[in-house]
Amino acid sequence: MSVKAEIADILTRLGVNSASYTSGSTKIISPVTGEEIASVADVSAADTSAAIDKAHEAFKVWRNVPAPRRGELVRLLGEELRAAKEDLGRIISIEVGKITSEGLGEIQEMIDICDFATGLSRQLYGLTIATERPGHRMMEQWHPVGVVGVISAFNFPAAVWSWNAALALVCGDTVVWKPSEKTPLISLACAAVFEKAAARFGDAPDGLLTLLIGDRAVGEVLVDHAKVPVISATGSTRMGREVGPRVAARFGRSILELGGNNAGIVCPSADQDMALAAIAFGAMGTAGQRCTSQRRTFVHDSIYDQFVPRLKAAYKSVTVGSPLTTDALVGPLIDTRASDAMERALEQAKVLGGTITGGEKIDAGYPNAHYRRPAIVEMPVHEGIVCEETFAPVLYVMRYIDLDDAIEKQNAVGAGLSSTIFTLDMREAEQFLSVAGSDCGIANVNIGTSGAEIGGAFGGEKETGGGRESGSDAWKAYMRRATNTINYSRELPLAQGVSFDI
């Protein structure tokens, strides 16, 4: 069966109307084979605005549904995702090029966040706070905020939507979703799965989830719309620089999940087998196309000549090929731009004195697809391209002597998403996690930079945008806080001892 026929088969099974992926002028290409697999139509700016108005009306109904009941919808979504896991994972392999276990892993993240959000639906709590006035009570309530606009990227085309949608829905919000232009098919599939859950739920208002397939113009309407109090956007720092100020200009709230230039430090006491496995997955996994991918490694001088040759050997031996027909560990890059960016980064690294292992184009049997061997580049300096995010499997390796210096360098980039240290020395580990340690939103010890669990708050500092999604108390960004002070006394004492007798 051709890839095109297979995707049609899966989408039909999931209940997606065939007109939505066969008519339209935007061609969808599988990065695995380079073939056209579908074509979709873009919504217009006017339709986008109307859809947001409808989502706002749905919000007015949904906010009154008790949160644990809203959690029931998300529980059903989790059930539907479990049932569709294989199909959804396969779509991700076809449309994004992820290997099978990573495609399935992405769906598992969605199931996990649904479980988390279902429990959360009974845990949306505010504080009761001691007041300075007698006969008064002060408390805070968290209320639904409105329509949440979700702008997602190609590399986690389904999971990022679910982190936002599962929380937003239990919080009483409605969701308008603009997926990456590269991945409309998995979005159509997710929307169909959501509809199944909504149908089982029974009385869900129309407009809880709106999928808007379209280009930048659609995103702009969403970003500028006064009835969208929260915009959660995942993508490049360049995109965030445009979205953030536009949302702020209308006093909207943004949750930004932008670039990463994640580093690992390998200390003298490191369990080197563990470090090797973690860095291999962190840097080569998903063909280096995670925002959490490891892109820089600092190796202590005393173990450098022992550890780095082993890492290079892993780069030489890793299998690269089609995730659909082989069990290769590294699939294709998403498109020609990604491949060109990798090429350019390697050229720039070479000019700075880098020694490259790997990085070459690989003939996987598909002339229009972009397969490359992951590259490891030994760098004499930490500057230039090393300090930038290239969304491809390029790992820069540098020697270090002093841990303070390594930590300073690891922090000396624009992005602040994820980081790790490999050490068995508790002093080094604690220093890395301390106030003067890693400046990232995620700082790990003896595990890789990527593959975060949904239970923790996910996101990073500086040019990563500062947003937090997924676990911990990330839900608060999807609600508005009201502080309530109630006077049950017969007096009217003013705060701060102010008197105002009339």
**In the complex, which residues of this chain contact ligand UN1 (CB under 6 A)?**
109, 155-156, 160, 234, 290-292, 450-452
Note whether 31 and 97 are within 8 A (CB).
yes
d(CA 165, CA 149): 10
Residue 469 CB, nearest approach to ligand UN1 (Å): 9
Residue 418 CB, nearest approach to ligand UN1 (Å): 7
**Between residues 8 and 186, which has the closer beta carbon with respect to ligand UN1?**
186
**Between residues 156 and 422, which has the closer beta carbon with respect to ligand UN1?**
156
Q: Report the residue closest to ligand UN1, judged by CB.
A: 452
Which backbone phi and psi does 174 adopt, to 5 degrees?
Answer: -110, 165
Q: Which of 211, 189, 209 is nearest to 201 (CA)?
A: 209
Residue 414 CB, nearest approach to ligand UN1 (Å): 17
Look-up: residue for tokens 């969208």? 228
Note whether 94 and 145 are within 8 A (CB).
no
**Between residues 144 and 465, which has the closer beta carbon with respect to ligand UN1?**
465
CA–CA distances in Å: residue 150 to residues 164, 228, 259 = 7, 10, 17
Pairing of strands 461-462, 415-416: antiparallel
d(CA 147, CA 51): 11
**Between residues 156 and 315, which has the closer beta carbon with respect to ligand UN1?**
156
CB contact set of 477 (below 8 Å; sequence gap of 6+): 230, 232, 253, 255, 467, 468, 469
Residue 239 CB, nearest approach to ligand UN1 (Å): 12
CA–CA distances in Å: residue 84 to residues 107, 202, 296, 446, 464 = 9, 20, 36, 34, 32
Residue 160 CB, nearest approach to ligand UN1 (Å): 6
Residue 483 CB, nearest approach to ligand UN1 (Å): 34
**Active-site annotation holder among 72, 109, 257, 428:** 257
**E strand or H helix at 174:** strand 174-178
Does 57 qualify as catalytic in the annotation? no
**Between residues 423 and 450, which has the closer beta carbon with respect to ligand UN1?**
450
**Between residues 121 and 470, which has the closer beta carbon with respect to ligand UN1?**
470
Q: What angle do CA 17, 19, 25 make, to 5 degrees?
A: 140
CB contact set of 463 (below 8 Å; sequence gap of 6+): 237, 240, 258, 259, 414, 415, 416
Q: Which residues are catalytic?
A: 257
